[in-house]
Structure 1
Amino acid sequence: MQKFFRSYLDSFGGLRKEVWLLSLITLINRAGTMVIPFLSLYLTKSQGFSLDQVGWILTFFGLGSVTGSWLGGKLTDKFGHYRTMAGSLIVSSLLFVLLQFPVTFWGFAIGIYLVMAVADVFRPAVFVAISAYSKPENRTRSVTLIRLAINLGFSAGPAIGGLIIATTGYSGLFWVDGLTCLMAGILLLILLHPKRALEEAQDLVISAASAFKDKLYLVFIAAMIMFGFIFLQYFSTMPLFYANYHQLNEFEIGLLLGLNGLTIFLLEMPLIKYMESRKHSVISYINLGMLLTGFSFLVINLTDWVGVLIVGMLLVTIGEMIAFPFSNRFALDRSDGKKRGSYMALYSIAFSVSHIFSHNSGMHLVGSIGFQWTWYIMLALAILGVLLLIILKKLLQQEGSSAL
Structure 2
Amino acid sequence: MKKITLNYLNSFKGLSKEVWWLALITLINRAGTMVIPFLSIYLGDYLKFSKEQIGTVMICFGFGSVAGSWIGGKLTDKIGYYKVMVGSLVATGFFFWGLQFLNSFYSFSLGIFLVMMVADTFRPAVFTALNVYSKEENKTRSLTLIRLAINLGFSAGPAVGGFIIVTAGFSGLFWVDAITCIIAGLLLLKVLHPKKAKEIDTHKTENPSSVFSDFPYLVFFLSMVLFSFIFVQLMSTMPSFYKEYHHLSEDTIGIILGVNGLLIFIFEMPLVKYIEKRNIKNIDSTIIGAILTTLSFIAILFSSYRFESIFTGMLFLTFGEMIAFPFSNRFAMKRAKRGNFGEYMGLYSIAFSIAHIAGHKSGFESIAHYGYVFTWKLMAIIGAFTVVVLWLLKIILKREKNQEAV
Distance 1:368 1:279 in 2: 45
Residues 260, 169 of structure 1: alpha-carbon distance in 2 compared, 3 angstrom cutoff: farther
Q: Which residue of 1 aligns with 2:282?
A: 282
Residues 389, 272 of structure 1: alpha-carbon distance in 2 compared, 3 angstrom cutoff: same
Q: CA deviation at 1:55?
A: 3.2
Q: Which residue of 2 aligns with 1:340?
A: 341
Distance 1:99 1:376 in 2: 39
1:376 partnered with 2:377: yes
Residues 389, 145 of structure 1: alpha-carbon distance in 2 compared, 3 angstrom cutoff: same
Q: Which residue of 1 aligns with 2:398?
A: 397
Distance 1:36 1:26 in 2: 16
Higher CA-based Rg: 2
Q: CA deviation at 1:142?
A: 0.9
Aligned length: 403
Alignment partner of 2:67: what SS? helix
Any conservation in 2 of the 1:90–1:182 contact (CA below 8 Å)?
Answer: yes
Q: Which residue of 1 aligns with 2:79?
A: 79
1:9 partnered with 2:33: no
Q: CA deviation at 1:39?
A: 3.5
Q: Aligned AA for 2:113?
A: Y
Q: CA deviation at 1:161?
A: 3.5
Residues 371, 92 of structure 1: alpha-carbon distance in 2 compared, 3 angstrom cutoff: farther
Show CA shifts across 1:52-108 (max 9, x none).
Answer: 443332221111011101110111111111110011011111222333444443333
Q: Which residue of 1 aligns with 2:354?
A: 353
The structure whose RCO (Cα within 8 Å, separation 6+) is larger is 1
Once the two structures are superposed, the pairs formed by residues 175-190 of structure 1 within 5 Å of their partners are: 175-190=175-190
Any conservation in 1 of the 2:134–2:201 contact (CA below 8 Å)?
Answer: no
Any conservation in 2 of the 1:37–1:158 contact (CA below 8 Å)?
Answer: yes
Q: Which residue of 2 aligns with 1:213?
A: 213
Q: CA RMSD in A?
A: 2.8
Distance 2:107 2:247 in 1: 30
Q: Aligned AA for 1:76?
A: T
Q: Which residue of 2 aligns with 1:27?
A: 27
Residues 115, 209 of structure 1: alpha-carbon distance in 2 compared, 3 angstrom cutoff: same
Distance 1:388 1:35 in 2: 36
Once the two structures are superposed, the pairs formed by residues 3-402 of structure 1 within 5 Å of their partners are: 3-44=3-44, 47-165=47-165, 170-195=170-195, 203-245=203-245, 256-303=256-303, 305=306, 309-400=310-401
Q: Aligned AA for 1:352?
A: S
Distance 1:112 1:253 in 2: 28
Any conservation in 1 of the 2:133–2:201 contact (CA below 8 Å)?
Answer: no
Show CA shifts across 1:15-58 (max 9, x none).
Answer: 11111111111111111223333444544555554554433322
Q: Percent identity?
A: 54
In structure 1, list runs of 5 or more residues that go unmatched. none
In structure 2, list runs of 5 or more residues that go unmatched. none
Alignment partner of 1:157: what SS? helix
Show CA shifts across 1:206-241 (max 9, x none).
Answer: 332121110110000000001111112222333444
Distance 2:360 2:344 in 1: 25
